[in-house]
């Protein structure tokens, strides 16, 4: 299982790098869709069908909205720079490379500190999950345990999510309805 997910993840990383470097914004969006749909396959392999259904639909709608925005404006990433690149000194280049290396080392070190106390992949032991799994169907009456957690044990979370969605919609309406000064 670990190998398959690693292979899909490597493809996702390649797609992500291409999406960030594409000249055309439409092809960048299509590569972004590649990453999102690869995520759907990972979710299906990891036994999370609920999350996979939500991700595939949301990814499609996000792509529709993004493509409509790009088609309404421009497709080119950056208009051609009018020769503003002067001479960059060699010390500046070495300095920025050293900076990147230091930051990457620090981030990998902290990430290793974060995951070193986790259980190895596929061998998950949490007391909390046992409490959610044992007798959850009898307590909530829902055969889908994820829905049971979502609306019974963790109802506050769902309510907060609905509030955030409502706020985001109000924000979109407000930003787009603004009449700018001429």
Partner 1 sequence: MNVYLLCFILFLVGLYGVLTRRNVIKIIIGLSFMEFSIFLFLILIGYIEGGAAPILSKTVVTTRFVDPLPQAMVLTAIVIAMAANAMLLAIAVRLYKRYGTFDIRKINELKG
Partner 2 sequence: MQGMSIIVKKVSQLITALIFMYGIYIITHGHLTPGGGFAGGAILAGAFILLVLANGSELLKLKQKEEGSSLTESLAILAFLLLATLTLFFGTYVFFNNYLPGGTVGNLISAGIIPIYNIVIGIEVGAALFTIFLALAIYKEEMIK
Least Cα distance to 28 among 17, 38, 37, 39 occurs for 17
Size of the site for partner 1 (CB under 8 A): 81
Which partner, partner 1, partner 2, none, binds residue 102 by CB below 5 to 8 Å per kind?
none
Contact 81, 48 (CB under 8 A): no
49 CB contacts (<8 Å, ≥6 apart)?
43
Q: How far apart are CA 79 and CA 146, in angstroms?
A: 48
Which partner, partner 2, partner 1, none, binds residue 141 by CB below 5 to 8 Å per kind?
partner 2
In angstroms, give the least distance from the CB of 92 to partner 2. 41
Residue 24, beta-bridge partner list: 76
Which partner, partner 1, partner 2, none, binds residue 12 by CB below 5 to 8 Å per kind?
partner 1
Least Cα distance to 41 among 15, 67, 9 occurs for 9
Q: Is 105 in the site for partner 1 (CB under 8 A)?
A: no
Interface with partner 2 (CB under 8 A): 49-50, 53-54, 57-58, 60-61, 64-65, 68-69, 72, 137-138, 140-144, 146-148, 150-152, 155-156, 158-159, 162-163, 165-166, 168-169, 172-173, 176-177
Q: Which of residues 127-146 bind partner 1 (CB under 8 A)?
A: 128-129, 132-133, 136-137, 143-146
Among 127, 178, 179, 182, binds partner 1 (CB under 8 A): 178
Which partner, partner 2, partner 1, none, binds residue 33 by CB below 5 to 8 Å per kind?
none
Which partner, partner 1, partner 2, none, binds residue 182 by CB below 5 to 8 Å per kind?
none
SS (H, E, C) 13-79: HHHHHHHHHCCEHHHHHHHHHHHHHHHHHHHHHCCCHHHHHHHHHHHHHHHHHHHHHHHHCCCECCC
**Joined tokens for residue 7:** 């292979």
Q: Which of residues 72-91 bind partner 1 (CB under 8 A)?
A: 72-74, 77-79
Q: Is 169 in the site for partner 1 (CB under 8 A)?
A: yes
């Amino acid at each position: 299982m670990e190998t398959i997910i690693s292979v899909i993840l490597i493809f996702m990383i390649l797609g992500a790098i291409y999406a960030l470097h594409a000249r055309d914004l439409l092809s960048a969006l299509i590569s972004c869709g590649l990453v999102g749909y690869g995520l759907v396959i990972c979710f299906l392999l990891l036994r999370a069908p609920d999350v996979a259904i939500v991700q595939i639909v949301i990814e499609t709608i996000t792509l529709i909205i993004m493509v409509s925005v790009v088609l309404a404006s421009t497709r080119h990433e950056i208009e051609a720079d009018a020769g503003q690149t002067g001479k960059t000194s060699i010390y500046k280049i070495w300095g920025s490379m050293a900076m990147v290396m230091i930051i990457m080392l620090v981030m990998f070190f902290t990430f290793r500190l974060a995951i070193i106390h986790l259980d190895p992949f596929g061998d998950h032991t949490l007391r909390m999950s046992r409490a959610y799994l044992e007798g959850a169907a009898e307590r909530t009456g829902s055969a889908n345990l994820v829905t049971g957690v979502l609306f019974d044990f963790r109802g506050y979370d769902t309510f907060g999510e609905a509030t955030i969605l409502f706020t985001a919609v109000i924000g979109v309406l407000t930003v787009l309805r603004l009449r700018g000064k001429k």
